Amino acid sequence: MYTVEDLQKRVEKELEKRSAELLDRMPVELYKPVTYSLGMGGKRLRPVLLLMAYNIFSEEIENVLPSALAIEVFHNFTLLHDDIMDKAEVRRNKPTVHIEFNENSAILSGDAMAFQSYKYLAECKSPRLLETIDLFTTTAIEVCEGQQYDMDFENRLDVRAKEYLEMIRLKTAVLIACALKGGALLADASTEVANEFYRFGENLGLAFQLQDDLLDTFGDQRTFGKKIGGDILANKKTYLLIKALENASEVKRKKLLKWIEKTDFIPEEKIEAVTTIFHETGAKKDAEQKADEYFNRAIAILDGLPFQNVVKQPLRNLTLKMLTREQ
């Protein structure tokens, strides 16, 4: 079995190789933002999860490296466009692509990344490739649906927790689930087992995004890689904000709504004030409990997979690491 570190190194090596190939293509201005995006770092969780799922069935991970690469390229495409929509300036402690280059270049290069991901996926030799491409396509559409819901929520103050959880399931969790199920499918696992990998990834992805929300407000910018409090400044309808509005007394609710409606404010003051309300209303505790709930579900599904514990242990270790992450 490969370790997480082994797989991360293999993914990085492949990304470096493919990035160099892209920079040899013309027009170079199309591919510079692509390689910049892929070179910004990250944990490479999605490609590693695909390889880990495949590795449970086979040691020949080279067979599916192009598919792992496809997942990572597509993920970075979604981040690139997400940063444009959110007007984010920092990603992984570096200027976002539209800041480093320009918005038009970022949009076009992001489109190229989406198509390139399919090209990499199609390189994989597997009797279940068409099934995997169908899964990948369905997932890509779902991610767009999730992003639309996220945009729709910007103009609403009545977003419920159930709606938010469905939005992050689509926007974040399904791609993690796709990576795990894709790895199982490419290894020619049974449909039943592949579906269990999907359920595991779906719950893991929900917990991961809730943890991300918590880190955006309560994390350390030096390790998190993005400006802390960005969701608060943008009035993003996160689980924290939804629960704060739901739990707040009339006085605290009015105070919170006043900060949401303000257009002229000192960013640090707004972040401090809203963060305090998240604490006082129990919203932070609610978010932590919901994240724990999904992580526990994920672990239960993983434990139920019909493989020896020693084979599943790397996935279990990574899951627990994701729960306690600081970035």
The overall average pLDDT reported for the chain is 91
Containing structural domain, residue 75: 1-125
Residue 310 included in any domain: no
Question: Is the pLDDT score of 137 beyond 80?
Answer: yes
The pLDDT-based confidence of 326 (bands split at 50, 70, 90) is low
Q: Report the alpha-carbon distance of residue 149 to residue 95 in Å, rounded.
A: 26
The pLDDT-based confidence of 39 (bands split at 50, 70, 90) is confident
Q: What is the pLDDT of residues 287-319, one digit of tens each?
A: 999 999 999 999 999 999 999 988 899 899 998
Residue 189 included in any domain: no
Which tokens sit at 42?
């990250």
Interior/surface letters 14-44, b for 16+ CB within 10 angstroms, e for the rest: bbeebbeebeeeeeeeebbbbbbbbebebeb
Q: Is 222 exposed, middle or buried (0-12, 13-18, 19+ CB in 10 A)?
A: exposed
The pLDDT-based confidence of 167 (bands split at 50, 70, 90) is very high
Q: Report the alpha-carbon distance of residue 290 to residue 10 in Å, rounded.
A: 34
What CATH number does the domain containing 6 carry? Answer: 1.10.600.10
Residue 299 included in any domain: no
Residue 7 included in any domain: yes
CA 202 from centre of chain: 11
Q: Averaged over 151-169, what is the pLDDT? A: 94
Residue 281 included in any domain: no
Give the pLDDT score at 89.
84
Q: Report the alpha-carbon distance of residue 113 to residue 118 in Å, rounded.
A: 9
Question: Is the pLDDT score of 225 beyond 70?
Answer: no
Question: Is the pLDDT score of 327 beyond 60?
Answer: no
65, 10 contact by CB (below 8 A)? yes
Question: Is the pLDDT score of 50 beyond 70?
Answer: yes
The pLDDT-based confidence of 43 (bands split at 50, 70, 90) is confident
The pLDDT-based confidence of 221 (bands split at 50, 70, 90) is low
Count of the separate structural domains present in the chain: 1
Phi, psi of 146 (to 5 degrees): -65, -40
Q: Report the alpha-carbon distance of residue 137 to residue 16 in Å, rounded.
A: 25
Q: What is the pLDDT of residues 87-106, one digit of tens each?
A: 888 787 788 889 878 889 88
Residue 22 included in any domain: yes
- pTM for the model: 0.91
Residue 11 included in any domain: yes
Give the pLDDT score at 226.
60
Give the pLDDT score at 230.
83
Q: Averaged over 27-36, what is the pLDDT? A: 88
Spell out where 31-181 has E strands: 90-91, 94-95
Place of tokens 């170079």: 28
Residue 270 included in any domain: no
Place of tokens 């570096």: 94
